[in-house]
Amino acid sequence: MAKALYGHLAADPALLAEVAHLRRRVRDLEDEVGRLRAESQVAALSPLTDEELVELRSAERTEPVLT
């Protein structure tokens, strides 16, 4: 079935270009997710300093909540 769908798309160059673009975008987003997960793991291993805790607490109070 995949070959049939690919054959159908091959008839339209605009669709092929869009599929290629979307595949690149998905790959880029997957790479970003991997990078963010790695950064998150590193951050989880290092304890916060007192200054960072104060900054987080003050940011919680001053930033508006999305509605």
Would you state the pLDDT for residue 8? 62
pLDDT of residue 33: 95
pTM here is 0.53
Six-digit token pair at 57? Answer: 């607490």
Say what the pLDDT of residue 28 is: 95
Question: Quick one: tokens of 43?
Answer: 């951050």
- Paired tokens of 40: 């998150």
Span 1-50, pLDDT tens digits? 566 666 665 678 888 889 899 999 999 999 999 999 998 888 778 777 88
